[in-house]
Amino acid sequence: MMSHERQFYINGEWVDPVTPRTMDVINPATEEAFTQISLGSKADVDLAVAAARKAFETFSQTTRAERLDLLKRILAAFQARYEDIANAITLELGAPVTLAHKSQAAIGVGHLTQMISVLETFEFEHMQGTTLIAKEPIGVVGMITPWNWPINQITCKVCPAIAAGCTMVLKPSEIAPLDAIIFAEVMHAAGVPPGVFNLVNGDGPGVGTAMSEHPDIDMISFTGSTRAGILIAKAGADTIKRMHQELGGKSANILLDDVDIEAAVTTGVVDCFQNTGQSCNAPTRMFVPAQFRDVAVGAARRAAESIKVGAPSDPEVYMGPVISQLQYDKIQAMIQAGIDEGATLVTGGTGRPDGLNRGYYVRPTVFADVTPDMRIAREEIFGPVLSILTYETPAQVIALANDTVYGLAAYVQSGNRERAQEISRKMRSGNVYINYPKGDLNAPFGGYKQSGNGREWGQWGLEEFLEIKGVVGYAAG
């Protein structure tokens, strides 16, 4: 099979860019380039949008049964390329092989399976008296996805868009693009009609801005930083397109005084450092009752120091490198800020872990005695850095947890579920997780405040890609 790394997928075909321009893709474990991709321009976006716009005329009129059949074919094609997708994520992201195979690639299957289930029973029309309420596809969607959980963020946008009857143009992250190229091959193998799904690689200024400004794109679905989300919203304002955004987070993990502190802290540390801390909903601010400060610090130290950091190819490794030199430098600066501002460095710190002198490896880092005004308590670090804060009363911890511009997730641990439920209702966040539960791919995923607008996953994700039409007088009075 020929490589499509320097091509784009437009109107059902692999095509060369209008203006050739390439970029190295770096393996974060070695700091070396292992391939190149082409970077697109406005001209490539125009071609992709024109294909999507034309395809929308027919694809928007397909039946539920036709779209279900298509999603099932995509699922089968995805499963056929499962190993390739997982291996690509290890190579481009530095995700440890175990994480890549059991979580990163697996969640793509999860979103496809969940959307098939949702579409089977979703109500697109109902009568309200004599008025027909119809939910119809919004149109052409521009999708801009990040590098940290790449196939998750692609499938949780593409699946509901297909289910709704939308057509789309995808711009994946240019620093982790291989899984998206394989995904485009999956879509082709599944027989997705030409123009329904299009892929244009590129950077934010070259492709992201062109998509955000494009008059023939009806909606932008973006996952990434709050800073980038603001720019995209401004670029799309002139054409009043729908802006669907899942942005940054600084999630609180509240441990109440009736939990097993050792166990709750240990799980919280492990959760925080999953995917090398590169998750927007990571529980990065741990709140412990002041009287348990020492117990919590000891447990956090032991948990962090037990985490195996190393080559992503090692199945025993829990934490690989972070994605890039830029991210590495940002994380190092934030760790230094924590030290400079007077937090207690429990374990970790600046520099690479012992024995790792190449690759963007960061030491699993825990700070204690963090105060709410410190940068490490306020800014999203997007690396393996945990801040431990203390509190005196439930009312105080609720105020502290909500004292952030973000509102993506919150975590509550309690031996009394009713206490946890009461606190969950007071969290200003799109998700609350009680006692480290199993995931739910039909729960709405998204944030309050500067963590975004709209929701993803399951039926909630499907709703985002639909317009609502009221046909008054549809039935006789």
Active-site annotation, residues:
246, 280
The closest alpha carbon to 462, from 71, 49, 73, belongs to 71
Specify the 3-state DSSP secondary structure of 242.
strand
DSSP notation for 351-395 = SPPTT--SSS----EEEES--TTSHHHHS---SSEEEEEEESSHH
Q: How far apart are the first and last CA of the chain?
A: 61
Tokens 């230094």 — which residue? 336
Q: Report which DSSP code applies to 205.
A: I
Q: Could you tell me the CA-to-CA distances from 269 to 289, 322, 354 in Å, in that order?
A: 17, 17, 20
Exposure of 62 by Cβ count < 10 A (0-12 exposed, 13-18 middle, 19+ buried)? middle
Cα angle value 88/91/93 (rounded, 5°): 95
Q: Could you tell me the CA-to-CA distances from 164 to 140, 161, 442 in Å, in that order?
A: 11, 5, 16
The closest alpha carbon to 155, from 111, 94, 212, belongs to 111
Q: How many angstroms separate the CA atoms of 66 and 89, rounded?
A: 31
Chain center to CA of 184:
19
Q: How many angstroms separate the CA atoms of 444 and 242, rounded?
A: 18
| Beta strands per DSSP E along 272-343 | 285-289
* Six-digit token string for 447: 């944030």
Three-state SS for 26-74 is EECCCCEEEEEEECCCHHHHHHHHHHHHHHHHHHCCCCHHHHHHHHHHH
